[in-house]
Amino acid sequence: MIPVDYYIIVSILLFSIGSAIVFTRRNILYVLMGIELIFNASNINLVAFGQFEPYLNGQLFSMLVITVAAAESVVALAIVIVLFKKLNTIDLSEIKNLKEK
């Protein structure tokens, strides 16, 4: 079987790539993709450590994370649509205020 260390290393790399996407890209859609990658890195860790636990709690928590990520994506897309309708841009450096003008 695969040692847990390998899962940890893959998950660390995935997390850092996702964080780099969140920090450096300016398009909102890229940032959302980076957040999904971070969620997936945490899921890999939960499932890898859940192998040692006979009551499947790691996998259950991972399931919770997946549904919360889906919900987050839905709300974020609704906000993106509203922003695009109001400001006609999805560039994060151009979105400066939340209040309606």
Partner 1 sequence: MTLIQIVFFFFSIQLLGSALVILFTRNVVYAAIALMSTLLGVAALFVIAGSDLLAVVQLVVYVGGVLILLLFGVLYTYRDPETYYEKKNILLSVATVIGISIALLFLLRDLAFDFPLLHASPFDQKGITKATGYYWITDKVVVFEVVAVFLLIVLVGAGWIASKVLEQNKRAQ
Summarize as ranges the residues that interact with partner 1 (CB under 8 A). Answer: 1-10, 12-21, 23-27, 29-30, 32-34, 36-37, 40, 43-44, 47-48, 50-52, 54, 56, 59-60, 62-64, 66-71, 73-75, 77-82, 84-86, 88-91
Q: How far is the CB of 38 from partner 1 (least distance, A)?
A: 11
Q: How far is the CB of 61 from partner 1 (least distance, A)?
A: 8
**Whole-Å CA distances, 24 to 68, 73, 86:** 24, 20, 24
Instruction: Give the DSSP letter of residue 54.
Output: T
The separation between the first and the last C-alpha atoms of the chain, rounded to the nearest angstrom, is: 59
